[in-house]
Structures are given as structure tokens and as C-alpha cells.
Chains A and B, each alone.
Chain A
């Protein structure tokens, strides 16, 4: 018995020794393989070094529809994806200039037709698999695939031909364009590099569009961004965790991001988001209305509230200039006759009190607009566009030139009549969920009443509003806002080109309906291939001047980007480009001292 026991003990010891030996061998093997693989080429970020750990909670106004960067269209999806994915060249949201990202450097051939990009070496996806040029080639094949209808595809077609990608070696890529492309290396921004090892199979089976759903297992997706999916609770939250393979470090050599977790809570209404922020449930808040901003600003001791200045959102009023043909009744035809007159639109523009909009809607935290490019876009705004004061006199003069007359009603109300004697009446659609725009419309209603126009404001649910504008085209006028996703003019091409889908007043025209729309098309196409900033600026300035002169949209105002964060959040440097507060999420961190003080 006893003997047997010692024997078995000896056996155990033997096993242990073997195990220890095996461990040593594997460590040596790992060291050896690391020597073989290229050294990790991390990008060092300047900026205040932070403290590791903790979680950051922010609210998202809707659930992201997908985590698949190829297909994401909605803002919530894009916001989440930007924390999970990385691009070759990145536009710094703060400086609005390009910076090396996954590509360490790039060269452009002297004719401007070939870009050579060199990738960082030794990088890994969030599941630990290495990245090389094959992933990039695969990525561009997917983005350019017509059957997937990726929203980014249009940007990758230059001169009617898709950008051609060639692998030079495992870490070098050559991109060939059909003609010079004014966007330059900015084209690579926000094109997430996809994990070929995970997606090639579904892509070949034609199932790529189905991947990236939120409920899919975490192992089916990997990215190169600072965070990766940890947990998703439908209708409540999405929890991302730190990507241990992320490729940026701070000045002390610490591998970013600092935070362990990034939590998105789904909070649909803006007011509810404010309440969550006030109660301390969320750490940061963006897209604040001026009124909510001033409420939160009264409690400055626990938050940092920041007015980041004018953003890229422009709000405008536009009239229905679609060619409705037989569809519309005589009433609509009469209205469109007014709307098509440039002087009518100019008169409306002259009567609008933009200063009151900025004061009453944005509490002075905004800027009046006379053109589409906001002062937030420093490089592209045309300084030559006039900022005429509000003038009812001028408006009346313009209407008189068109043959409009006024008649006094028994009630003492003065009514504007068109040259055929019909009273001028129309309605303005606004989105019922956007209190700011409804308020603007109510102010304009009163402004135009002073011209004798009878205007009705119709707040509609946003989807049925879009349906009326893009599908049925049954509306008189509409008040909307758009946000450029980048400062570059090309981000708004589909708004200004007459064939564009967002050419709101008359979308997707086969041929430009007016001579000035044709000229805008020509200028925009010309700036696409112009190579110098000076040339492009001149062309784009001309576009802005044509728009300001013809007023297809009556530009109203642009709100400032208003954001806030708890004081414990370090490296809080909001930008005026989306995502306003999370653009540097890898550098955000929680301070300890204040956290204790708070408790």
C-alpha cells in the first residue's frame, strides 16, 4: 500500500516537471516566433497620458442597425462602428486634416494617378489575427461590389472607373485612379479595413450583407478599432470592451485605449438623454439643444460644458420644384409657378429674420446662414457671400416686380395676391420630433405673414416627411437640416448635383432642370478632378455663390456643437465633426481623484 502511494507521488512529481518543461519550451517557442513576425509598429499619440481602467457610458439616440461598416447608413451605427474599426488614412476630427492611421505613410505619383500606401507591420485584429495587404485588397473588393450597395461605393468611383488596388508586397499597396482625384488621400478615411479571415467565406457565399448584426456571436466579427463587442442587450445597451491588440500607444508607451469598457445606452429622446446625464448615468453628452445646454450649464461644478463653436449642420427652407407633370392638380401648379420664380424665393429669403432664429431657437449659440457652408468649415466657406439684413421693403419690391399685389381684407389683414389674383398660401413641413425646426418654421410663418403670405406649419413624423419629399413629392415647402459628415465639399456632392438623391428640392434629375443647376453640376465635376486646393476653392466658391443667388434652399442658421462631460473624464476635446465627443475615444480616461471626491 505504502509503496504504491510513494510511487504515485513520484509519478505526480514527474508530471509536474514535464509540465514545467513544456511551459518553458512554449515560452521559448513564442519568443522565437515573435522574433520571426515583424515588430509591432504602434502609432504614438501625443497628448496627456491618462489612467487605465474604468468604463465610459454614453447614450445613443437609437439602436445601431448593424455593425457592418460596409452597409451602415444611420448615425448610431456609424458612431458605434467608429469606435470598433480603423481606416488606412484618418481625418483628424479636430484639425480636419489627414493623418497616418493603418497606413504608416503614402506617396502620390507625379501625375496624381497612383497612390502607394505602406501599412504598419505586425498589427492584429481584435481577435488576434494578423493584418496584411490581403485584408486591404479584400476590403476594397467588398466596398466596390455593386451587389452590396455600399454607401461609400460612389466615392471610390473616379472618372467612371473604380479605384484599382494592387498588392505590391505583404505591407505595400498601390491604388490606381482613372483620373486625378481632388479628394486625395481623404478618400481612405472611414473605410474600415475588414477581417478577411472572417468575412471571405460569407462574402463568397453572398451572405456578407447578413453579417455584422448585433445579435450575432461576438466571435463572428473583428475590427481594428480601440474597442470590440462584449455584450448586447436588445433595446437597452451595447457594451464594448478594450481591444487588447489596438495599434496606438501614448507618450509613455502604454497601449491604448485607457478605458476597459465603452457602454452605449439606447435613449431615444433628447430630453431623456439630458435626464440620464443629469442623474449621472451617462458620462458624456453631445448634440445638446441650446436650452438643455443652458440648464446643464447652471450646474457647472460637476460637469464641463463646452460650446465647440459652429458645426457643419445647416438648416434651410426649400420649395417643391419637382416636375410633377400630370400628377399635380391645378392648385399645385399655381403654387409651383410662384416657387419657380427666383425673385419669389429671394423675397422669402429677404423677409426671414435669421437673427431672431439664432436668438430664439439657438439662444445665440448658433450662426445665421446665407449659404450652405457654415463658418465651422473654415477651409471651404466662401467669405464673399453677402449677409444682407432682413428687409421687408426689399421683399415687397421683389414681389411687386413679379406682378404680385396686396389687398386689404375686412379684418384689416393684408393679403398677398399673385398676378392672377389668387391669394398666396402654402404650408411648410417640419419634423415633429425636432422642436428647434418647428420653432423656426413658426417664426418664418410670422415673418411671411408680414408680406401677406398665409403660411401653415405642419409638423409631421420624420419618416412620413421623408416619404413625401423623396417619394410622393406631395408638399409645398419643407424646413429641414443636413449635417455634412466631412468638411470637404465632396461629402455634400449628392445634395448639390442635380442627379443626386439628396438634391432635395428636385432629386435625381435625368437632366438638370435649370441652367444654374447645370452650371453647378459642371463646376462640381470640375472640382472633382482639380488637384490644387486653390483651384478647387475657386470652383466651390462659385457653387456657393450660385446657390446663394438662386436660393433653391433658403439657408437659415447653423447651431453650435454643444457638448458636456463629467469632470472626471480626461482628454475631453470635442470636435465639430461627428462623432463630436468620441472621436478620440482611445485617449479618453477617468481620473481617480475627483471620482473619490464625488463619492
Chain B
């Protein structure tokens, strides 16, 4: 019982997190590639409710930044101006969920830009970039995991169900893929492609490479499950009644693999998000100016950024709840699978 409750809790957390990223355009105040060259490396700005005179304001407000005379990347709050946030107003157009053109934003400010999480070296809003970057990174992870699991399921099921030479060939192939150094493979692939790759092509390339390289492990797991499932008594009985291969497969074998696939999915998604981040960090992912979590962290390769602008670490912080969510989900799924097995064993024992 507790297993289910835990599972539900993690599912709710993950759904909420993904919802925020999917509706990133609504939460992000600005276009993620828009440069504000007057405010490069602005530190995160503070929201106030009480002004300098001690008056309480109902709307949160902020003081806009003006460049400090001392240094180029230092800014002072311009106390003379007080800009209130406006909520649920229309602003720059964006596509909700990738296709619905919408102008509604959670908040915006008129007269000056607000950087709740600071800005990067081009004056681009860090909050907007984390939200939009999450769309790229998470989509790469989800798509990649989806493709991997489909390939893994197909190959694992064929190998496990039919056995014999098919099993041998497919499993040796799987071992070969497990041994591939995929990072170097990607370097090599990138060298063959034309020089300038559009962001979309680069994204698809990453997804395809991550997915095709990772199918071996789920395939082996699925094969194991199918091997044991096809020898179960009820499967034999179904066969004895004259059920066809495809019927037995659909009705009895596939459902057995569901829990393995789900657990694998919960492990693979964060792993693939991390893979996308690694590639973008190394400059092999989606090109500038498109944001992805790896691109955002790539700024930290410079010593000066590392030392001077702590808010450039924030993308790493944003990633953490997602990973925790997925790992919690995987653990809950595992727990549930175990408890089920226990249940079925006890039933068998009673029976």
C-alpha cells in the first residue's frame, strides 16, 4: 500500500515539474535568445514589498539596475525608480506546448527588465533560458528513452521468445553496443556532418545517437523477462488451447515486461538528460543561441565566470529536482514490483 502512495507522490511531483517546463513560455518573462546588452551579467534582482519610505505595496516591485561607474559588470539598484510587477498580462508571443500561439505570461514588468535569476554574458534572462533550456534537455531525454525502450523491447522480445540463433545474434550485437565508446562515436559522427547544423538537426542527431547506443541494456532485461514468462504454466496452457504466437505474445508475455520497462524508463530519462547536457557542455549539442541545460552550464568552463558570477551555477540547481524525482520514481516502481512479486509468491505458496 505504501509503495503505491510513494509512487503517486513522485508521479505528482514529476508531473508538476514537467508541467512547468512544458509551459515554460508562460512562466518565462522574456524570449530566451533576446539580448539586453546594457545588462550583461546582472546579478539576480530582489523583489520588494516595502519601499525605502517604509510603505507597504500590494504588488511586488523591484528597483531597476543601472551600470555602476566602478566596473563594467557591476550594477546598482536605481532607488529612484520603482517598477511593479504585473501578473497574467500579455507579452512576447510564444508557442505553448510547441504549437499553440499564446501571449499570456505569468508576470512582466514595464519600463525595465527584471532578472530574477540574473542574466548571462549577453544580457539574456537566465530564468527564461533555464525554462526553455529544460524543454530541449527534457525532450531529448524523454524522446531518447522512448526510442531506446521501443528498440530494446523489440529486440529483447524477439531474442527471448524465439531463442536459438536469433537470440545468439541479437545478444552478441547487444554486447557489441554495450562496448561502444559512444562519446567518441558522436565526435566522429559530428565530423562527417556538414559544418553548420541547424538547431533542430543537431537536436535530432543527439536524440538518435543517444537512443541507438543505449538499447542494449533494456533489451537484455526484456529478454530475461520474456524467457521466464514464456515458460509459465498459463502461457503453456494458452498455447495448448491453440493460441497463436502473436496472441500469446500480446496477451501474456508483453504485460510481464511492463514493470521492467517502467523502471528502466525512470532510470533512462535522467541518464539521457545528463547525456544531452554532457554533449552540449562539450559544444556538440544544440548550437547557440538556443538554450539547453548543457549549454547554460558550458559558461562555467571559463574560470572568470566560475569565479565572478555565482548565478551561472543556477541551471545545475534547476536540474536537481528532476533527477531526484526520477530516481524516487524508479525506487518506488522497484518497491512496487518487489511487493507484487512477494504477493504472487505468497499466493503460489497458498495455492
Beyond A291-B308, A446-B35, whether A274 also contacts B303 by CB under 8 A is yes
Within 428-451 of A, Cβ neighbours of B (below 8 Å) are at: 429, 432, 435, 439, 442-443, 445-446
Stretch at the interface among B3-11, B282-290, B311-319, B321-329: B282-290
Q: What separation, in Å, do the CA atoms of A178 and B2 have in the docked complex?
A: 98
Contact A364 B72 (CB under 8 A): yes
Closest CB-CB distance, B55 to chain A, in whole Å? Answer: 36
Beyond A271-B302, A291-B304, whether A360 also contacts B121 by CB under 8 A is yes
Contact A360 B37 (CB under 8 A): yes
Task: Please tell me which one of the listed residues A292, A429, A443, A460 contacts residue B304 in the complex, with CB atoms under 8 A apart.
Answer: A292
Asked if A571 is at the interface (CB within 8 A of a chain B CB), the reply is: no
Q: Which residues of B contact A460 (CB under 8 A)?
A: 195
Q: What separation, in Å, do the CA atoms of A474 and B194 have in the docked complex?
A: 10
Closest CB-CB distance, B155 to chain A, in whole Å? Answer: 36
Q: What separation, in Å, do the CA atoms of A291 and B121 have in the docked complex?
A: 11
Within 169-207 of B, Cβ neighbours of A (below 8 Å) are at: 195-198
Q: Which residues of B contact A426 (CB under 8 A)?
A: 196
Task: Please tell me which one of the listed residues A429, A435, A458 contacts residue B302 in the complex, with CB atoms under 8 A apart.
Answer: A435
Task: Please tell me which one of the listed residues B122, B195, B283, B304 contacts residue A360 in the complex, with CB atoms under 8 A apart.
Answer: B122
Q: Which residues of A contact B302 (CB under 8 A)?
A: 271, 291, 435
Asked if B320 is at the interface (CB within 8 A of a chain A CB), the reply is: no
Asked if B40 is at the interface (CB within 8 A of a chain A CB), the reply is: yes
Q: Which residues of B contact A292 (CB under 8 A)?
A: 303-304
Asked if A475 is at the interface (CB within 8 A of a chain B CB), the reply is: yes
Closest CB-CB distance, B99 to chain A, in whole Å? Answer: 12
Beyond A275-B303, A457-B288, whether A363 also contacts B195 by CB under 8 A is no
Asked if A289 is at the interface (CB within 8 A of a chain B CB), the reply is: yes
Q: Which residues of B contact A429 (CB under 8 A)?
A: 195
Q: What separation, in Å, do the CA atoms of A249 and B145 have in the docked complex?
A: 73
Write the chain B residue with the least CB distance to A445: B289
Task: Please tell me which one of the listed residues B71, B283, B289 contacts residue A294 in the complex, with CB atoms under 8 A apart.
Answer: B71
Asked if A593 is at the interface (CB within 8 A of a chain B CB), the reply is: no
Write the chain B residue with the least CB distance to A361: B121
Write the chain B residue with the least CB distance to A363: B72
Beyond A274-B303, A442-B288, A445-B288, whether A353 also contacts B196 by CB under 8 A is no
Contact B37 A359 (CB under 8 A): yes
Closest CB-CB distance, A392 to chain B, in whole Å? Answer: 14
Within 445-486 of A, Cβ neighbours of B (below 8 Å) are at: 445-446, 456-460, 474-476
Asked if A356 is at the interface (CB within 8 A of a chain B CB), the reply is: yes
Contact B303 A360 (CB under 8 A): no
Write the chain B residue with the least CB distance to A457: B288
Interface size classification for chain B:
20 to 34
Beyond A360-B37, A456-B287, whether A271 also contacts B195 by CB under 8 A is no
Q: What separation, in Å, do the CA atoms of A442 and B299 have in the docked complex?
A: 13
Write the chain A residue with the least CB distance to B303: A271
Asked if A190 is at the interface (CB within 8 A of a chain B CB), the reply is: no
Asked if B93 is at the interface (CB within 8 A of a chain A CB), the reply is: yes
Beyond A456-B287, A458-B196, whether A295 also contacts B35 by CB under 8 A is no
Within 318-377 of A, Cβ neighbours of B (below 8 Å) are at: 353, 356, 359-360, 363-364
Q: What separation, in Å, do the CA atoms of A443 and B308 have in the docked complex?
A: 21
Q: Which residues of A contact B350 (CB under 8 A)?
A: none
Q: What separation, in Å, do the CA atoms of A460 and B305 have in the docked complex?
A: 22
Asked if A160 is at the interface (CB within 8 A of a chain B CB), the reply is: no
Asked if A235 is at the interface (CB within 8 A of a chain B CB), the reply is: no
Asked if A388 is at the interface (CB within 8 A of a chain B CB), the reply is: no
Closest CB-CB distance, A457 to chain B, in whole Å? Answer: 6
Q: Which residues of B contact A459 (CB under 8 A)?
A: 283
Closest CB-CB distance, B279 to chain A, in whole Å? Answer: 14
Task: Please tell me which one of the listed residues A289, A295, A359, A458 contacts residue B195 in the complex, with CB atoms under 8 A apart.
Answer: A458
Task: Please tell me which one of the listed residues A294, A356, A456, A474 contacts residue B198 in the complex, with CB atoms under 8 A apart.
Answer: A456
Asked if A412 is at the interface (CB within 8 A of a chain B CB), the reply is: yes
Closest CB-CB distance, A462 to chain B, in whole Å? Answer: 14
Closest CB-CB distance, A224 to chain B, in whole Å? Answer: 39
Contact A432 B283 (CB under 8 A): yes
- Residue of B33, B196, B283, B308 with most partner-chain A CB within 10 A: B196
Q: What separation, in Å, do the CA atoms of A427 and B40 have in the docked complex?
A: 25
Closest CB-CB distance, B338 to chain A, in whole Å? Answer: 48
Task: Please tell me which one of the listed residues A435, A443, A456 contacts residue B196 in the complex, with CB atoms under 8 A apart.
Answer: A456
Q: What separation, in Å, do the CA atoms of A439 and B289 have in the docked complex?
A: 11
Contact A443 B72 (CB under 8 A): no
Q: Which residues of B contact A364 (CB under 8 A)?
A: 72
13 A-B residue pairings within 8 Å (CB atoms): A271-B302, A275-B303, A289-B304, A291-B304, A291-B308, A294-B71, A295-B304, A360-B40, A360-B121, A432-B283, A442-B289, A445-B288, A446-B33
* Interface set of B (CB-CB < 8 Å, partner A): 33, 35, 37, 40, 71-73, 93, 121-123, 195-198, 283, 287-289, 302-305, 307-308
Additional pairs, 14, CB under 8 Å, beyond known A364-B72, A443-B37: A289-B304, A291-B304, A292-B303, A294-B308, A295-B307, A359-B40, A360-B40, A429-B195, A439-B122, A442-B288, A443-B122, A456-B287, A457-B288, A458-B287
